[in-house]
């Protein structure tokens, strides 16, 4: 149940979709069995609508794509990493409120 403007990325297309993006990209590293991941899923969908055209929102299932989470040292999920220009700009771990995520995104966009 993802919003239409939430991208689903995997190990094979991560570099082209996320690292080479002209826009900042928030990647939600999640798993289907993770309760907190399911809890913030509606927030991720809302952010995808709220920031459409300014920030790409992507989700990566860590069970199906183990290489990229390993590359970025993901040890707990949900973990949100914000990339800009191919670099990690910020990281949020755990199920946080929409306001906390918006604060990071707004700081990045200002």
Catalytic residues: 34, 37
- 102 touches 109 (CB < 8 A): no
User: Which two tokens mark 56?
Assistant: 């790409």
Contacts of 37 (CB under 8 A, 6+ apart): 28, 30, 31, 77, 78, 95
């Amino acid at each position: 149940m993802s919003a239409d403007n939430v991208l689903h990325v995997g190990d094979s297309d991560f570099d082209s979709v996320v690292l080479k993006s002209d826009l900042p990209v928030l990647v939600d590293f999640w798993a289907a069995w993770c309760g907190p991941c399911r809890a913030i899923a509606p927030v991720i969908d809302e952010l995808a609508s709220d920031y459409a055209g300014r920030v790409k929102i992507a989700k990566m299932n860590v069970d199906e794509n183990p290489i990229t989470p390993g590359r970025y040292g993901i040890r707990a999920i949900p973990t949100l990493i914000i990339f800009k220009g191919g670099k990690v700009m910020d990281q949020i771990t755990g199920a946080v409120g929409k306001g906390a995520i918006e604060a990071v995104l707004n700081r990045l966009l200002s």
